[in-house]
Amino acid sequence: MSYTGPPLDPFDPFGAPPPRRSPLRRGLTVALAVLVPGALVGWLAYATFGPDGEGDGSGSARAATGSTSAPRWPNPGNGKSGLAAPSGSGTATDETTPSDPASSGKGSSGEGSLAGKVVVIDPGHNPTNVEHTAEINRTVDIGTHSKECDTTGTSTNSGYSEARFTLDVAHRLRTLLQQQGATVKLTQDADRPYGPCVDERARIGNAAHADAVVSIHADGSGAGNRGFHVILPGSVRAGAADTRAIVGPSKDLGKLIAADFAEATGTSPSNYIGGGTGLVTREDLGGLNLSTVPKVFIECGNMRDSKDAALLTSGAWRQKAAQGISEGIVSFLRG
């Protein structure tokens, strides 16, 4: 990685994460903001508002790229990206899985080209985690430290849960990838009472010898914080975690997904984390630390922002989101 600054979350490797808004965390946040000016305002807001959870607003985060590797975004700075009203009849309850071949864009031309390729989709959280707080609060070893098995995830202000969102996008993405001939496996499909735990989520991808893994999420940050970001694994070697072999290919995968996601959805990269690149590297996520195959997370938007929520609750928009993620994966697997 090109990052040469100081370690960003020096206490995390030594035990269970502290409470989110502990004085230590606040103090560290201020120190980090001084040390990492590129992430200053956005990270402060993120650390203040983001919920704890695997992928959603906790732990150390930094912009992943320098100026030479930032993706090119469609319609940069036009101020309207992602603001278009959701089309069609898509609503939060529109959770069928439309797979109109005509809407599958450039992906439809290469059916079968991913034969032999294995993609694991990891829908973040689980709709019934909320009923199993004791189970999901137990800690698991992620190599660098221990953290909760899983979390409930966030929701929109109107109550559409992140767990429902991630499953719906996962179903749409599975359909698109299967149309390309890929073998697709989900880490969970609301077919278990809770979890899997984050360590098991990683192991599922490893055991499948996946060529690519994507973990689907939506964030729970403050109102006004908008846009998507892709989370890349940092270089970690501690305990059972050793990401050195996957950092490079995961970054390639993440950059392709970010670019295609932006293009397919018309949304902009996060305005609160990642320095405008839409890419963030983290070393505190079990799902990444324990992966031995190329893997990224995507936070598709901020459920707590009303404009982002209007997109996230639209079935038509979720189809575009799945399309963008699919195209990034296809590009990665085709090399």
CB of 230 to Zn ion, least distance (A): 13
Closest CB to Zn ion among 114 and 202?
Answer: 202
Q: What are 315's two structure tokens?
A: 């079935």
Active site residue 299: yes
Within positions 35 to 64, which residues make up the interface with Zn ion, using CB under 5 A? 55-56
Of all residues in the shown chain, the one whose CB is closest to Zn ion is 217
Closest CA to 235 of 62, 44, 66, 14: 62
Closest CA to 215 of 145, 300, 141: 300
CA–CA gap between residue 216 and residue 223 (Å, rounded) = 21
Collapsed DSSP state (helix, strand, coil) of residue 64: coil
Is 122 one of the binding residues for Zn ion (CB under 5 A)?
no
Options 107-115, 121-129, 237-245, 249-257: segment touching Zn ion (CB under 5 A) = 121-129
CB of 288 to Zn ion, least distance (A): 13
Enclosing H/E stretch for 302: strand 295-302
For the packed helices 162-179 and 315-334, what is the interaxial angle rounded to 10 degrees?
A: 50
CB of 153 to Zn ion, least distance (A): 5
CA–CA gap between residue 166 and residue 172 (Å, rounded) = 10
Closest CB to Zn ion among 107 and 127?
Answer: 127
Closest CB to Zn ion among 167 and 176?
Answer: 167
DSSP string for 207-270: HTT-SEEEEEEEE---TT---BEEEEE---EETTEE-TTTHHHHHHHHHHHHHHHHHHH-PPBP
CB of 53 to Zn ion, least distance (A): 5
Q: What are 145's two structure tokens?
A: 């430290």
Closest CA to 331 of 169, 107, 122: 107
Within positions 211 to 240, which residues make up the interface with Zn ion, using CB under 5 A? 217
CB of 55 to Zn ion, least distance (A): 5
Catalytic residue, chosen from 54, 200, 299, 327, is 299
Query: Which of 107, 124, 254, 301 is the binder for Zn ion (CB under 5 A)?
Result: 124
Options 64-72, 146-154, 242-250, 266-274: segment touching Zn ion (CB under 5 A) = 146-154
Options 124-132, 181-189, 207-215, 262-270: segment touching Zn ion (CB under 5 A) = 124-132
Q: Indicate which residues carry an active-site annotation.
A: 299
Binding site for Zn ion (CB under 5 A): 55-56, 124, 153, 217
